[in-house]
Amino acid sequence: MRVTVKFLAIFYEMAKTLRMEFNVPDGISVRELLRIIDEKVNPNISKTLLSDDSGLREGYNILVNGRAIDYVKGLDTTLKDGDEVVLLPPIGGG
């Protein structure tokens, strides 16, 4: 199956692209997708996103089809063919 990952802000700088498609196994979780991204794109992406307890660092977010994974199953959210995953750093305002 295919999923699209969008890399915003700092993640764009790490990936050197805004968008990338990945062929992944059916039923893969967001956590497993991050491992693939580490291998194929940049190992610092998950280091930046994840805290020491393997949850998301404060302020960081991952969206699947526009919905924050915190409102689904977190990093264990299962992906489907055609899903769009967006990696978001903390957003500041002012």
Q: Say which CATH number the domain at 62 has.
A: 3.10.20.30
Q: Is residue 93 part of a domain?
A: no
Q: What is the pLDDT of residue 29?
A: 98
Would residue 34 count as lying in a domain? yes
Range of the domain at 45: 2-88
What stretch of H or E contains 10? Answer: helix 10-15
pLDDT tens digit sequence for 42-90: 999 999 999 987 799 999 999 999 999 999 999 999 999 999 999 999 9
Is the predicted pLDDT of residue 94 greater than 60, yes or no? no
| Residue 94 placed within a domain | no
- HSE of 44, CA atoms in CB hemisphere, 13 A: 7
Domain count, the chain: 1
Tell me how crowded residue 71 is: count the other CB atoms within 10 A of its CB: 10
